[in-house]
Amino acid sequence: MAYQLIILFVLQLILTPPCARLVVNLSQKQSDVVVKLSGVLVLIMYVLELTTKLAFTDNELSHGTMKKARALVGHFTGSSQANQILMKVQAGAVWAGGAVRQPVTVVQDVCTRWWSTFQMCRRLLYLKPYFSIMVTNDQLDNDVNLTDNEWTIIKDLHDMLLPFMSAQQVLEGERYVTISLVLGIITTIRNTLVATILDVENKTPHVQNMAQRMLTDFNLRWGTGAAGTVVREHEAEGERRRPKGIPLHALVASFVDPRTKKLSMLNNIDFATLRNEVKQRAVHLSSLTVRDVNAPAQIPLAAGQGITVTTYAPVRRILAQQYDELFVGIDSDVTVDPIGAPIIQAPPPLIEALIEAELVLWASEPVQVRIDAATKAINNPLLWWNNNCGRFPHLASVAKLYLAIQATSAPSERLFSHAGLTIANDRANLLPENAANLIYLHDNMIQINQYRAEHGLPRL
């Protein structure tokens, strides 16, 4: 019984993504659309991982490099004595700034764990000088260590796959908007593969061949990015009836995100098509009943506000490189929304004219920087819309709906993992409400302590 209650609790949390919790007062019709739209995006990381799998297998040009790299890892994972020597060799090492480096061991790749092979290669490159020291001291057989050519292959593979890994780290976040970043990330990955293929002087034949194979597979899944195809690629069906191209909802989110609104990676044809798609969605959303005007507001807000953001929720910090007055004088019927924002209820032709005016004004808005220069944290577009939804009421409804979608299912998968670790066999007497509270605290302790600090309360 306890397990059933916890599963219901977890499912309730999953159906309310963290970014969606930042947006309030969606109508029931709009909320239903959010749930439907979320389902088509959870496979983004899975599709990217299918492409990267090609790089982790040997072919005729790799000369068994990956097999030998795994054998090198196995030498240390299978021998505690060899592993202890590796840790001792690293003792006393310091970073450029003087900080002491903590000794680390090799990373074993696991076929069921995404990106573990990339992590294995990254750790091997980090430990390369220490392997050389061990060879010099006769503590490691030279035949076990990789040759210079094999190390070059590992390094080139690492550099080629780095954008894939960065995409995983960024898109799996749950404390900032991720869906609008998909277009830019897909474009960056494609450009990286093309650059690797063209870099004949600096890349090994194996890596160039692998990049060509990966680009072919990547284009089959995401499209080539050719003019006039980016926005419509999702309408085609990929291999084995899988979705193809960038989901249209991710493109719409990129359009209404002040960080990505420039859309410099799109040509004029795709930009015009996407602009029309956004306009149609704004017209459609304006026809929906926002709320029952007799229903009390959940959170009282000042007039002109339609979105509220939990101001004490921290934005996840990441590296900067992984990422860089309307309606005045218009005569129309106006009703007051319970949350305080006036809703323009005008005939469809006037609505379309208002939305077109918003789109023109939106095009002249400056782009918001993606990374805050002081905190190195991702800027939150919901905060921007919180301050400007009065100027763009119809586009704000689109942003409120689409920016709440998470790019991947990783946050919900982490939640299931936390629940599984909390409700263990040795805690069989744990009450359902206590289990729910523990899971909640695990996921929100940072925000809770920040809130308590702002109000002069001690940390928990």
DSSP 91-121: TT-B-TTSPBPPP-------TTSTTHHHHHH
- More reliable by pLDDT, 395 or 342: 395
Position of tokens 């059933």?
A: 4
Question: Which of 93-97, 196-200, 330-334 has the lowest average pLDDT?
Answer: 330-334
Sequence-ordered alpha helix ranges (H) in 287-363: 348-363
Q: CB within 8 A of 22, min separation 6: which ones?
A: 307, 308, 309, 310, 313, 382, 404
Across the chain, mean pLDDT equals: 75
At residue 276, the pLDDT reads 92
Domain ranges of the chain: 18-41+247-290+301-402, 48-92+102-217
DSSP tally for the chain: helices H, then strands E? 17, 2
Instruction: Kindly state the tokens that stand for 162.
Output: 């780095």
**Average confidence (pLDDT) over 126-147:** 90
At residue 33, the pLDDT reads 46
CA distances (Å), origin 61, targets 91, 157, 414: 37, 13, 38
Asked if residue 273 has pLDDT above 90, the reply is: yes
Instruction: Kindly state the tokens that stand for 88.
Output: 């001792």
At residue 274, the pLDDT reads 93
Binned at pLDDT 50, 70 and 90, residue 275 comes out as very high
The whole-angstrom distance between residue 414's C-alpha and the CA centroid of its chain comes to 14
**Average confidence (pLDDT) over 266-272:** 91
Query: CB neighbours (10 Å) of residue 363?
Result: 10
Rg (CA), the chain: 26
Alpha carbons 338 and 97: distance in angstroms, whole number: 56
Query: CB neighbours (10 Å) of residue 425?
Result: 5
- More reliable by pLDDT, 328 or 31: 31
Alpha carbons 246 and 250: distance in angstroms, whole number: 7
Q: CB within 8 A of 52, min separation 6: which ones?
A: 115, 118, 161, 164, 214
Binned at pLDDT 50, 70 and 90, residue 277 comes out as very high
Binned at pLDDT 50, 70 and 90, residue 396 comes out as very high
At residue 178, the pLDDT reads 86
The length of the chain, given as a count of residues: 460
Instruction: Kindly state the tokens that stand for 134.
Output: 């061990």
**Average confidence (pLDDT) over 185-210:** 87
**Average confidence (pLDDT) over 105-122:** 83
At residue 329, the pLDDT reads 32
Asked if residue 441 has pLDDT above 80, the reply is: yes
* Amino acid making up residue 320: A
Nearest CA among 43, 111, 36, 48 for reference residue 409: 43
Instruction: Kindly state the tokens that stand for 26.
Output: 């969606």
Question: Which of 33-47, 220-234, 408-422 has the lowest average pLDDT?
Answer: 33-47
How does DSSP assign 11-57, residue by residue? HHHHTS-HHHHT-----HHHHHHHHHHHTTSTTHHHHHHHHHGGGGS
CA distances (Å), origin 79, targets 83, 85, 106, 121, 345: 6, 10, 12, 20, 73
Asked if residue 319 has pLDDT above 60, the reply is: no
At residue 22, the pLDDT reads 35
Binned at pLDDT 50, 70 and 90, residue 374 comes out as confident
**Average confidence (pLDDT) over 369-384:** 81
Alpha carbons 230 and 125: distance in angstroms, whole number: 37
Binned at pLDDT 50, 70 and 90, residue 347 comes out as low
Position of tokens 């194979």?
A: 213
- More reliable by pLDDT, 205 or 372: 205
Position of tokens 């061990």?
A: 134
At residue 52, the pLDDT reads 81
Binned at pLDDT 50, 70 and 90, residue 243 comes out as confident
At residue 404, the pLDDT reads 87
**Average confidence (pLDDT) over 235-240:** 78
Instruction: Kindly state the tokens that stand for 22.
Output: 């930042």
Query: CB neighbours (10 Å) of residue 145?
Result: 17
SS3 318: coil
Alpha carbons 135 and 141: distance in angstroms, whole number: 6
CA distances (Å), origin 290, targets 29, 30, 235, 305, 401: 8, 8, 30, 14, 12
CA distances (Å), origin 429, targets 4, 179, 221, 344, 371: 14, 40, 48, 55, 46
pLDDT in tens, 175-189: 788 888 888 889 888
Alpha carbons 428 and 83: distance in angstroms, whole number: 38
At residue 251, the pLDDT reads 93
pLDDT in tens, 54-113: 877 777 777 888 899 999 999 999 999 999 999 888 887 766 666 777 888 999 887 767
Asked if residue 385 has pLDDT above 70, the reply is: yes
Alpha carbons 155 and 157: distance in angstroms, whole number: 5
Percent of the chain whose pLDDT exceeds 70: 76
- More reliable by pLDDT, 381 or 413: 381
Position of tokens 């609008």?
A: 180
Find out whether 129 and 111 touch, Cβ atoms under 8 Å.
no
Sequence-ordered alpha helix ranges (H) in 172-257: 182-198, 205-222, 248-256
